[in-house]
């Protein structure tokens, strides 16, 4: 194994490098380094400080990145499939178009990260921080977002088919035009979220908080789904379904 433990790559230049089996454990310092299009096969940079580094289009498939610091790093179009990013700090990082399929991001911080059109299919995003993140048109099919924080995140046009959002916080989240088919929202908080034109076919909303949420023009939203939520106080709904719910479940519209 090649060892560069305690190496200082600050402002270094390793573009298009093949860093196979290298050891970047904890003390390595590649802050602001340019690692564009580099290949990190079987690298172990656990706990490494990669703040502001340029990893654009880098191949980091299957890499162990537990606790790594990627704050404000450029990871646009990078390939992370199968990587372990548990407890990593990616606050403000650019992950536009990145492949994060089947990636472990449990307990990670992606607050304010840019994930426009990122591929997060089947990823473990349990209890992740995605507050104010840009997830426009991101692919989150079958991802696990149980207990995740998505306050003020933008998921406009995102694909959340079959996603698990049980107990997640989506306060003020934008879900306009998102595909939420078959998603699990048991106990989720949608207060003041925008779900205009979202597809909610088969979604489980049991115990969900929808106070102030905008559900106008939402597709495949049924009376049965909404009758199982925790609150609809100040919720914006289409006329017919709103009238029926107020007649049969008036307590849902009371102040919780």
Q: What is the tens place of the pLDDT at every residue in 32-72?
A: 455 566 655 555 555 678 888 888 998 888 888 899 999 99
Range of the domain at 143: 134-256
| Average pLDDT, integer, range 120-143 | 98
Low-confidence winner among 6-10, 72-76, 170-174 (lowest mean pLDDT) = 6-10
pLDDT at 9: 42
Taken as a whole, the chain contains a residue count of: 256
Report pTM.
0.86
Asked whether residue 55 is domain-assigned, the answer is no
Asked whether residue 147 is domain-assigned, the answer is yes
| Average pLDDT, integer, range 216-225 | 96
| Average pLDDT, integer, range 81-101 | 97
Q: What is the tens place of the pLDDT at every residue in 227-249?
A: 999 999 999 998 899 999 999 99
pLDDT at 38: 61
Which residue in 196, 188, 126 sits closest to 157, CA to CA? 196
Q: Locate the DSSP E strands across the chain.
A: none
Q: What is the tens place of the pLDDT at every residue in 167-202?
A: 999 999 999 999 999 999 999 999 999 999 999 999
Asked whether residue 33 is domain-assigned, the answer is no
CB 23 within 8 A of CB 3: yes
Asked whether residue 92 is domain-assigned, the answer is no
Distance CA 56, CA 228 (A): 45
Return the ∠ at Cα 192 (arms to 174 and 151), rounded to 5°: 55
pLDDT at 18: 42
Q: How far is CA 107 from CA 12, 185, 203, in A?
A: 30, 19, 25
Asked whether residue 216 is domain-assigned, the answer is yes
pLDDT at 226: 97
pLDDT at 35: 58
Backbone angles phi, psi at 244, to 5 degrees: -65, -40
CATH number, domain of 210, equals 2.160.20.80
CA 169 to chain centre: 12
SS3 content of the chain, % helix, strand, coil (to 5): 5, 20, 75
Asked whether residue 28 is domain-assigned, the answer is no
The 3-state DSSP class for residue 244 equals helix
Number of Cβ within a 10 Å radius of residue 250: 9
Asked whether residue 100 is domain-assigned, the answer is no
Distance CA 244, CA 186 (A): 22
Asked whether residue 31 is domain-assigned, the answer is no
Tokens of residue 89, six digits: 């700090």
Number of independent structural domains in the chain: 1
């Amino acid at each position: 194994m090649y060892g560069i433990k305690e190496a200082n790559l600050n402002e270094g230049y390793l573009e298009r490098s093949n860093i196979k089996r290298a050891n970047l454990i904890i003390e390595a310092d590649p802050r602001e380094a340019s690692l564009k299009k580099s290949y990190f096969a079987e690298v172990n940079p656990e706990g490494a400080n990669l703040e502001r580094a340029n990893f654009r289009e880098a191949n980091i498939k299957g890499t162990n990145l537990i606790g790594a610091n990627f704050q404000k790093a450029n990871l646009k179009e990078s390939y992370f499939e199968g990587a372990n990013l548990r407890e990593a700090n990616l606050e403000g990082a650019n992950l536009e178009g990145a492949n994060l399929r089947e990636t472990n991001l449990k307990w990670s911080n992606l607050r304010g990260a840019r994930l426009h059109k990122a591929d997060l299919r089947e990823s473990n995003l349990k209890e992740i921080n995605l507050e104010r993140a840009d997830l426009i048109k991101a692919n989150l099919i079958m991802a696990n977002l149980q207990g995740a924080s998505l306050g003020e995140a933008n998921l406009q046009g995102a694909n959340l088919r079959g996603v698990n959002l049980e107990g997640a916080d989506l306060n003020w989240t934008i879900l306009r035009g998102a595909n939420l088919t078959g998603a699990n929202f048991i106990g989720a908080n949608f207060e003041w979220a925008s779900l205009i034109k979202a597809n909610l076919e088969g979604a489980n909303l049991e115990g969900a908080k929808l106070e102030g949420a905008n559900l106008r023009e939402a597709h495949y939203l049924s009376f049965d789904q909404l009758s199982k939520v925790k609150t609809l106080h100040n919720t914006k709904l289409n006329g017919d379904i709103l009238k029926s719910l107020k007649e049969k479940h008036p307590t849902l519209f009371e102040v919780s």
